[in-house]
Amino acid sequence: MSGKDRIEIFPSRMAQTIMKARLKGAQTGRNLLKKKSDALTLRFRQILKKIIETKMLMGEVMREAAFSLAEAKFTAGDFSTTVIQNVNKAQVKIRAKKDNVAGVTLPIFEHYHEGTDSYELTGLARGGEQLAKLKRNYAKAVELLVELASLQTSFVTLDEAIKITNRRVNAIEHELDEREREEFYRLKKIQEKKKILKEKTERELEKRKVAGEVTEPANLLAEEKDEDLLFE
């Protein structure tokens, strides 16, 4: 809270100017942070929309793929053992790239194919066409899954970033309010003190005048006639 970190300064006008400058700086900072938060929220909403779309598409694609598996099994018999036997290296691999949104790095996954299709000749004697369709469907499903994965990681990262930024914005606003109030308080105090000082000096002046030791200096403005003027 601001009460703890009150800076002990001498309540002078200069200090007040300095404080005003810092206030301005803090305000600019807060505006920048707010802009960052808005940008992040915008991106966040875009990602959310895309996630919903992708998930719905995913449901369709998985259903289609599972059905084409049934079709392939109908025509080609049981090829599951052949498939499992021939597994050695991954054909579809993922690369992680970085994307930058308003200063926040988001990971993006990109898939790429490597190596030849080791199941090219499976189903040579029967069911080859269905197997090809099946491979295509599942490849599509895998691509969608990769996309969904990068979208969801971005979603989570952005969520964190937005929370932090908003917390900072709120904290600064809190600070700013506190500082404004401090400013008012200080200004008031300064003015009071000055008033007191002024009253003191005036009283002293009065005293001295009464004592007759000090003549008033010539008041240029009060004088009606100026002796130096030759012509009236």
In angstroms, give the least distance from the CB of 126 to other proteins: 6
Q: Which is nearer to other proteins, 46 or 75 (CB)?
A: 75
Interface with other proteins includes 67 (CB under 8 A)?
Answer: yes
Interface with other proteins includes 121 (CB under 8 A)?
Answer: yes
Distance CA 47, CA 40 (A): 10
Residues 98-117 as x/- pattern, contact with other proteins by CB under 8 A:
------------------x-
Interface with other proteins includes 128 (CB under 8 A)?
Answer: yes
Interface with other proteins includes 134 (CB under 8 A)?
Answer: no
The single residue among 37, 130, 154, 165 that binds other proteins, judged by CB under 8 A, is: 130
In angstroms, give the least distance from the CB of 105 to other proteins: 41
Binding residues for other proteins, how many (CB under 8 A)? 24
Amino acid at position 46, single letter: Q
In angstroms, give the least distance from the CB of 143 to other proteins: 21
Residue ranges in contact with other proteins by CB under 8 A: 63, 66-67, 70-71, 73-75, 81-82, 85-86, 116, 120-130
